[in-house]
Structure 1
Amino acid sequence: MKYLCLVYLEEENWSACPDEVCFAYGEQLRESLHLLAAEPLHPVSRATTVRVRNGQTSLFDGPFAETKEQLAGFYLVDAKDLNEAIQIAAGIPPARYGSIEVRPVRELAIAR
Structure 2
Amino acid sequence: MRYMCLIHHDEAALAAAPPSLWGEYAAFNEAMAKAGMTSGEGLEPSSKATSVRVNAGKKTVIDGPYADTKEQFAGYFIVDVPDLDAALDWAARCPSAQYGTVEVRPIKAWK
Does the TM-score normalized on the shorter chain lie above 0.5?
A: yes
5 Å-filtered alignment, 1:52-71, equals 52-71=54-73
Q: Secondary structure at the match of 2:108?
A: coil
In structure 2, what is the equivalent of residue 44 of structure 1?
46
Tell me by how many angstroms 1:28 deviates. 1.2
In structure 2, what is the equivalent of residue 25 of structure 1?
28
Aligned residues: 108
Pairing 1:79–2:81 present: yes
Structure 2: unaligned runs, 5 residues or longer: none
Identity %: 40
Q: Which structure dedicates a bigger proportion of its chain to strand?
A: 1
In structure 2, what is the equivalent of residue 13 of structure 1?
13
Residue deviations 1:69-106 (CA, integer Å, cap 9, x gap): 11111111111100000011110011111111111111
In structure 1, what is the equivalent of residue 4 of structure 2?
4
Residue deviations 1:33-76 (CA, integer Å, cap 9, x gap): 1x244001111100000112222221100111111111111111
What's the C-alpha RMSD, in Å, of the aligned pairs? 1.6
Output the TM-score relative to the length of structure 2: 0.87
Output the TM-score relative to the length of structure 1: 0.86
